[in-house]
Amino acid sequence: MGTISYYFKEIKNARLDFLKVCSDMFKGKKEKCVRKTAIITSAAIIFMAALTFVWGGSQSLGGITLLEVTPRIITPNGDNFNDKAFFKFDTSLTGIPFTAAIYDISGAKISGLMLDDTEKSLTWDGKDQSGKAVPSGIYIYQINVGQKTASGTVVVAR
């Protein structure tokens, strides 16, 4: 992991995921999807050049495990379809000291993550700390428990 070919594979997967989401959103408006996919691809290339984060898969944080991040591409428009990203753990986070945040690709902190009702997931709704919707693009999550860190990316598509 962390190799260029790994990132290319992940970008290809992201494009496929996005086209699937997009074709549901814009039935019959293919041009719109293709244009948005091109934006994601260029953002992904910038991301590749700038960072060496691992994207996807389960990540151990010592005693607990981040099982998955889903969906990796969110469309936060209030239609209840992929509006939030969920960071799912194998156990309740209650009583576990963790920190969790979303950063933009320049490394600026955008938001924290919220614990959801099950307490086994953290969520992000595509908003910054002041509650303002963030622009489309690639964002980085980082979750720390003790000395362990899980990180990766979430794409916001509007």
User: Can you give the binding site for Ca ion, defined by CB under 5 A?
Assistant: 75, 77, 79, 81-83
The length of the chain is 158
Q: How far apart are CA 123 and CA 113, in angstroms?
A: 6
Pick 64 or 134: Cβ nearer Ca ion? 134
Minimum Å distance from CB 126 to Ca ion? 9
CB-nearer residue toward Ca ion: 71 or 152:
71
18 and 155 Cβ atoms separated by less than 8 Å: yes
Residue placing its CB nearer to Ca ion in the complex, 8 or 81: 81
Nearer to Ca ion, 40 or 150 (CB): 40
Measured from each CB, the residue nearest to Ca ion is 75
Closest distance of CB 54 from Ca ion, Å: 26
At residue 122, the 3 state secondary structure works out as strand
CB of 81 to Ca ion, least distance (A): 4
How far is C-alpha 83 from the chain's CA centre?
A: 12
Going by the DSSP 8-state scheme, the letter that residue 20 receives in this structure is: H
CB of 80 to Ca ion, least distance (A): 7
What phi, psi does 87 have (nearest 5°)? -110, 100
